[in-house]
Chain A
Amino acid sequence: MKRRSFVKNVSLASVAGPIAMKGLNFQAISKKLFEPSKMAEDRVLVIIRMNGGNDGLNTVIPIDQYDNLVIQRSNVIVPEPSILSITPEVGLHPVLTGMKNLFDNGKQSIIQNVGYPEQNRSHFRSMDIWTSGSMDVNETRGWLGRHFDNEYPNYPSAYPSATYPDPFAISMGNELSATCQGLMANFSHAVNDPTVNYNLTGSAVNDGTYFGSHMEHISTIINQTNLYGDQINTAAAAGNTLSTLYDAANPVAVYLRYVAQMISGGLKTKVYILNVNGFDTHDGQVLATDSTAGAHANLIKMISDAVNAFQDDLNLLGLEQQVAGMTFSEFGRQIASNASLGTDHGDAAPMFLFGSCINSGIIGPNPIIPNAIDNQVGLPMQIDFRDVYASILKDWFEVDPIDIQPLFEQTINYINVLGACNLGLAENAKDDDGILIYPNPATSNSTLKIETLNERVKIEVFDLNGRSVLLICDKQFNQGTHHIPCETIDLKAGEYIVKVFKSSGIQSTKFSKIR
């Protein structure tokens, strides 16, 4: 890294907030010493990048908008009866049986209409924005890279170390992830097969020229490759994998199986990143003869099946509470399809979160599909992806919000996404017998899905100080599943807990109100 970039980054950081020049070492160290958070230290985040711009509307289908979808995209929309409905309003593409299984078991959530203001429709620029978590063109670091820079200063020089013998992040395959680009180096380590042995030699000195910086980079990589390689080999050898659901012909499944093996073998890597290419479906997204099949269906099925197998494996390995995952794509696609059985670059799209610690359900309302075609129109964004990233850092890695805000350029609006396993939030945790509030965050009104016996039920909303702010109902229900409208429109923006008091027990879940 040359000085110009270094200076640029520092000044940028200083403008954004006290991240780089404040007592960064002190803060990171003091946090380790005085706030040991063993749980967060052991937690793993798996990120699946859907490269090319995933067609969200053919992945998560707003069933209540189906008629207008037919107007907009008759040649790619899947037939309504084939849709796998997960709520009365929201369905999944018929190949997503794995994801539906996860959703039904409370292990998957969908965040609808995620994007950022003034969507950029260039793959490259938009991917830069998503990986950096910043709309600033001068931001060269990834969002996790910035976080790691704060936590582990002087990377890569001081690493691996006795305290941190394992790579902080692993990119499955041959390429490093821009998401993990730090100030001086990329925090991710590329692993194609964790059982391959490394024994490389070679080093060269940095003479201060461009050539010298390459010598230093290559020498560091050789050294790290050996040291990290040994750790990875050891973990892979010690690790296990138990699920029979992995398909050896599915490359995502193969990589996720390796991830499970490394985690179960005790590797302390915090982030694993997988990349799936091919989502730029301008043409041939579906087969002319069958709109439920084709290139796009194959891709999302590959991910859905693999994640389902991975979650099964984590369950069998007893690691479910340690691992969570998310997907992202640089943009969604336009509402109207084109004549080539495809779709063009659009705007917002859904993200998936998976794991047993997520706050399962559907966050955000269905997009509204107009009944007239207006070329080039994509879905407007409702949830900023940077809020999702920040919420993951807060909920999952238990990073102090004081440290999170400076990582991002806009004021963070936290969303309750991954806190279900956190201590002290147990009573707010989602349960596994069907309580679900959607959309979440709520803008105007939400719906609460509950299951009841033939019993009296009181439903009440509390703020985080435990004050009752809204009584939704208090009445007799028949046995079954109920979708209860909740008039949350008058609530202030913020986080709330909705509690369901039944004679069979109390259930609660957290939700956010925005705007």
Chain B
Amino acid sequence: MQAKVKAKGSAQPLVVSANRLRDGRVVWLAADGGWVEHLHGAVVYLGEEVDAGLAAGEADEQRQLVVGAYAVEVVETPGGMVPLRMRERVRVDGPSVLPVAAE
């Protein structure tokens, strides 16, 4: 399963992501310690630095702010930062399909 591949220890740059507890929306950890709804606002970690982000995520789970914080591998592209894995790209972009005749 693709679910939450362990990205810690990856050579790729990393961001920390989670779902917000109260509404489930996808969020990323920002430099100011808050959670933002856009990947481009996320703080990027290299190597072991991510431990600090994961610790912040865990602390915010204890404070009922987010659920299931984990590290996500990203790559820099000319268009900006994108996740390495398909699963995380879908979390950034939303479903790739629209419902029939969306109202």
Mutual binders A and B: no
Residues of A within 8 A of B (CB): none
